[in-house]
Structure 1
Amino acid sequence: MQSGISASQELQDAFNQFVSDASQRALLAGIEDEKLIPTTTIPLQASPFQEDLHQLQSHLSPSAAAYILLKIDPHAPDGYVAVTFVPNSAPVRQKMLFASTRLTLVRELGIERFRSTLFATEKEELTASGWAKHEQHENLSAPLTEEEAGLAGVKEAEAQESQGTSARRGHVSSKVNVPTGDGVLEALACLKEEDCRGTLVQLKFQLPDETLTLDSSADAVQPSDVAGHISTTEPRYTFYSHPSGTQAEPKIWFIYTCPSASKIKERMVYSTSKSWTRIVAERDAGITVTKSLEATEPSEITAESLGGDESAEQSAAENMKPSTGFARPKRPGRR
């Protein structure tokens, strides 16, 4: 995520004090003036830590996001959990900001300190009973092996692709699982909101583990400026909420670009995962992709091709057709 927000020296000092102080259970933080800052601390009163969670309730607002750095094991160097609390009624922009900056928070404070991270939208999730449900959900079933998950994903993606756009909208399976990084689904979900018209969300794969991560997001992007936000050296998945969309009917574009300068490994990963990515976006972020567009170079993405006029789109697609095909690498020894 390239939000430009970083941990203030004040927060770093407060966290160091929090780590060394055995009498503190939690450190709360927020965002102010493009900086992560400390807001308050909560004392350690009981053990296990679940019995102290009730203290959080009076510090959380149903309409404001917050970070909670929770000490769950005072004796372990990694005995901390970073909780991102983003209530459903928080302002849309605040939701995006907190969700997409959560990884920055743990990285700058020392990722080795945190045993896990948690995303919560309801105050009830941060109670003893809510935490128990979270742990039960985490341990509900063993995850699929990488081979099993990959096979399921390939089959589902092929089925979705063969059924066409309308079928994908009507049935988005739960079987496909593309690992997603912090802030991805939250940023995508915001594209549904009316005040996010013109918002552009760009996703990339973190290699070699192939986790889909949030590369960047930008607001108030005009169709003519979309190309300028997309990488010219690496493939990207770009989701763009067209400014002409409405609350009742947002126009969300799914744009796949694969520059000629990108590496062969990247081309393979992005090409085989584009259908999965769209499926996950629609299923897990709750958005509906109105139209899709593929191009080799970002410069091919023009205001005309994103204009919403069917005839213009068809013409633009025809013009782009020769350059959007991704040539299969030639076999060694052939010319």
Structure 2
Amino acid sequence: MTSMPGPDPANGGPSVFSSATQALLDSVKRAGFPPIHEQPLAQARRSYSLGVGATALPPLPMARVEDFHIPGPAGQIPARLWAASQAPDMPVFLYLHGGGFVIGGIDTCEAMCTVLAQRSGGAVVAIDYRLAPEHKFPAGLDDSFAALQWLAAQGHTRGLDASRMAVGGDSAGGTLAASTALMARDAGIPLVLQALFYPSVQLGMKTESLMAYSRSTLLSWDLMHWFEKQTQGGAQRERWHREPLHAPSHTGVAPAWIGLAQCDPLTDEGHLYAARLREAGVPVVLREWPGVIHDFINMGRFLPEAAQAHDALGEALKQAWAR
């Protein structure tokens, strides 16, 4: 399936960026920072972390902030838990950060995770899964599923209720979350929700959103290609582990909440995945925020839609845990 190119704001097509988004893009352009994919790996990771720190709102104070480790297939997986209370038997949301499987970490999703913990009334756990190129795909997926399995079996040791468990992530983390949800279904691990912010769910399809926004936003075609090149070479067992759109069946997977940005190369993939899930009888709630770009959830200092998205997901988690 291949779509025709849509309008590209960078090449004279009609712009649909919000005024705040356009101002942010103009500011980034004026700053003249080298693109992530043109930096040495260590600097690229630091640049992304510093960038999120400069654009995201600060983390909220929490009643519980706990650093611990989860046993993984290649050693201990660093994890952090946030909760707004000390209540026992809390529902838990496993969050998987974005960054193309190459950059990002607990620190780059902390601000949003604290908001989700406060809004939902549950605990949020994020992990530092292994990154490429040191650890090729599916290393990050293996860590993600190992963390979910541990929460299901041992979460009670942290005061967590495994009968009310959800998984989610953004961008590459959304990919991991979608695949982890499918693996959880196959393993008989019940989930009340899978929450996906602009996930990458397939490779090679030239969608309209990809053609329209891969040259005019921060998620460029060159950056996406660089990410994918870093991840390749691992012992991937199933195509759908990286491309959950192509799973043999989506029947019986957890209900989905999908949050998208209108001006994002990956927007059409989110719509495609929502359609595939609905075809399989999976309940789906899809929200698309107009005028914003990929990674907008980490830009709360500049884009009010970030807080709107955090609140929407927090409420979705709260409702899922109450059912």
Same fold, judged at TM 0.5 (above): no
TM-score range relative to shorter protein: under 0.3
- Give the alignment's TM-score, normalised by structure 1: 0.24
User: Which has the greater radius of gyration?
Assistant: 1
